[in-house]
Structure 1
C-alpha cells in the first residue's frame, strides 16, 4: 500500500471518513476501515516528511534559509 501517491492516500482517507461518519457500517467493517485509515495516515505522514526533507536539501544546496515549522495564527 505504500506505493500509492499522497493524493490517492488522502482521497481514500476522505472516503473512509465519510463511511465512518455515516455510522451504518457493522462494527467489524468499521474497525477494518479505521485500521486502513490509520495505515493511510502513516503513509501520508511519511510522504510529507520525505517531501520536506527534499525541499530542505534543495534549499541547503542553493544556500537559502532552512524551512521553518508552520505556526498557525490564533484567532483574536
Structure 2
C-alpha cells in the first residue's frame, strides 16, 4: 500500500468507506475494530486536509484563472 501522503482524496475516501462498512458489520474482534477505527481516523483527517487544500486553491483563483497570492488583512 502507498503511504497516506500519496493517496488521492478518492482513494482515501474509498478506503474510509470500506472501513466503515467493515465496522458496521460487527463481525470483527475488539482489537481489529480498534485498529480499523484508528486507520479510519487517519483517513478522515487526510480527507479533511485534502478538501481544505482544494478549497484554499479555489479561493485563490482569480477571475482569469490564475492563482493569486493570499495577503492577510492588515
TM-score in terms of structure 1 length: 0.76
Q: Which segments of structure 1 move beyond 3 Å, counting only runs of 4 or more?
A: none
Structure 2: gaps of 5 or more residues: 65-74
For 1:1-76, list aligned pairs within 5 A: 1-58=4-61, 61-62=62-63
TM-score in terms of structure 2 length: 0.78
SS of the equivalent of 1:62 reads coil
Following superposition, the deviation at residue 56 of structure 1 comes to 0.3
Structure 1: gaps of 5 or more residues: 64-76
